[in-house]
Structure 1
Amino acid sequence: MSHIVLAIGTAAITASGCVWYLPAIADLQAGEDRPRSARTAAAACVTWWACLALAGGLLLAVPAWQPAAQIALAGLVAGVLLRVRAHLQSRLEQREEAVRWALIDPSPAPLPVRPSPRALLGWLLVGLAIASLGAASILLAGGGPLAPRLAAAAGSAVAVSTAFLLIGLGNARRHRI
């Protein structure tokens, strides 16, 4: 497949992702008006999309596809790490808020709701399917020795599966499924 086709596809995906990264940019610009966890989650979102846009530009500028894939993978890993940090910050903020409310109303706190196993399984299956397709495309792309392609395929599959699992956990908790 031509790099131009991949770059156009990446540009289309990045343009359609504005429903996520534009509100995230607004959260970042709001500064201290937003909780720290929301700003960190917004930074994760902007990182994901900015690296994808940069990868699309690299597909046009560089003849090899590997630098674009490395930038996209680096953005995914950085975004996942930021998202995990945002989750930890959110839990800390919730505990602090619970302490404040406990001072006002000393009634017992409700038990935490556990995420639905079916919802998590759905997110994990979708993540595994996408990770498998990505790993297969890396292996079938050819060019070069097999060992680096196997490492890249395994690494990307683990990263994508982990990202979908974390997104599924966050979604299940947020919607209290």
Structure 2
Amino acid sequence: MHHTVLAIGTAAVTASGCVWYLPAIADLQAGDDRPRSARTAAAACVLWWAALAMAGGLLLVVPGWEPAARLALAGLVAGVILRIRAHRQRRAELREDGLRWAMLDAGPAPRVPRPGRGPGARTLLGWLLVGLAVSSLGAVSILLSGGGPLAPRLATAAGSAAVVCAAFLLIGVGDVRRHHS
């Protein structure tokens, strides 16, 4: 596949991702009006999409696809690290809120029962299936790309598939927690 086609496809995916990164940019611009965990999660989202956009631009400039793939993977890994940090910050914020409620002697903060096997499980399954599809396509494209011995390509395909699948799983867990709790 020609690099221009990959760059156009990446631009189309990045443009359609505006439903995620535009609200994230708004959260970042809100500053202290948003909790620290929300701002960190928004920074992860913007980082993911910015890395993908830059990788698409790199596909137009550099003759090989490897630098663009490395840039996209670096953005994905950095975004996952930020997402984990946001999760830890959120847990700390919830503990702090619990302590504040206890200091008011109003009892513990109200707990919402966890959803059963309802819409949350279906949402998580949907994210996981999309992650499996994307990671499988990426792995197959790496394997079919040629260029060198099979063992390094196989290792790269397996590693990138695992990272992409884990990223989609983390996004799905965050989505379920945000919308179903």
Give yes or no for TM over 0.5.
yes
Q: Equivalents in 1 of 2:136, 2:14: separation in Å? A: 22
* Structure 1 gap ranges (5+): none
1:156 aligns with 2:160: yes
Closer/same/farther in 2, CA of residues 73 and 98 from structure 1, 3 Å limit: same
Which residue identity is paired with 1:31? Answer: G
Give the corresponding residue for 1:73: 73
Residues 68-147 of structure 1: pairs in structure 2 closer than 5 A: 68-111=68-111, 113-114=113-114, 116=116, 118-119=121-122, 120-147=124-151
Closer/same/farther in 2, CA of residues 75 and 28 from structure 1, 3 Å limit: same
1:52 aligns with 2:52: yes
Closer/same/farther in 2, CA of residues 42 and 109 from structure 1, 3 Å limit: closer
Which residue identity is paired with 1:163? Answer: A
Per-residue displacement from partner, 1:14-46 (whole Å, max 9, x unpaired)?
122222222222222222222111111111011
Per-residue displacement from partner, 1:101-125 (whole Å, max 9, x unpaired)?
2222433455564465633334323
Closer/same/farther in 2, CA of residues 24 and 109 from structure 1, 3 Å limit: closer
Closer/same/farther in 2, CA of residues 18 and 132 from structure 1, 3 Å limit: same
What TM-score comes out, normalization by structure 1 length? 0.89
Please say if residues 41 and 86 of structure 1, whose CA atoms lie closer than 8 Å, have aligned partners that are also in contact: yes
How far off is 1:87 after superposition? 1.0
Per-residue displacement from partner, 1:23-76 (whole Å, max 9, x unpaired)?
222222222222111111111011101101110111000000010011111111
Q: Equivalents in 2 of 1:7, 1:167: separation in Å? A: 25
Q: Equivalents in 1 of 2:164, 2:115: separation in Å? A: 21
Please say if residues 44 and 80 of structure 2, whose CA atoms lie closer than 8 Å, have aligned partners that are also in contact: yes
Please say if residues 24 and 43 of structure 2, whose CA atoms lie closer than 8 Å, have aligned partners that are also in contact: yes
Please say if residues 98 and 108 of structure 2, whose CA atoms lie closer than 8 Å, have aligned partners that are also in contact: no
Which residue identity is paired with 1:65? Answer: W
Closer/same/farther in 2, CA of residues 63 and 17 from structure 1, 3 Å limit: same
* Structure 2 gap ranges (5+): none
Please say if residues 115 and 172 of structure 1, whose CA atoms lie closer than 8 Å, have aligned partners that are also in contact: no
Which residue identity is paired with 1:39? Answer: R
- Superposition CA RMSD, Å: 1.9
Which residue identity is paired with 2:75? Answer: G
